[in-house]
Amino acid sequence: MVEMLGDHVQGDFRFSPADVTVRLDDTVIWINNSPPGVMHTVTYGMGSDDPMAGFYFDSGLMGGRETFSYTFSEPGTFPYFCIPHEFFDMTGVVRVRGTIKKGPHGTY
């Protein structure tokens, strides 16, 4: 579970923990634990000018206590950011360990 934190008084918008490592096919859940009225997103990519932004996942705007989950079915490093707080460096990364085995009947 990754918390989405920060408020309009203190700022300090962040994902906590911002760097997580999971196994292939694990599901990561994000929850908006900011005060009411603070919206966040979980958006794949290095930032909104990244042509791949949102390619794997994009939660859309999340209000208080809303959750978003995503299951990582391929290994790799998945950077993401929060659209409303991109300029506060509200970013995170999910590292997915494991290998996809390819057999005669395709991927399994």
Draw the binding track, 79-108, toward Cu ion (x: CB under 5 A; -: no contact). Answer: ---x--x----x------------------
Distance (Å, whole) CA 58 – CA 40: 11
State which of positions 7-36 bind Cu ion (CB under 5 A).
Answer: 13
Q: Are 51 and 60 within 8 A, CB to CB?
A: no
Q: Which is nearer to Cu ion, 5 or 96 (CB)?
A: 5
Based on the shown chain and the rule CB under 5 A, indicate whether residue 40 belongs to the binding site for Cu ion. Answer: yes
Distance (Å, whole) CA 13 – CA 88: 7
Site for Cu ion, rule CB under 5 A: 13, 40, 82, 85, 90
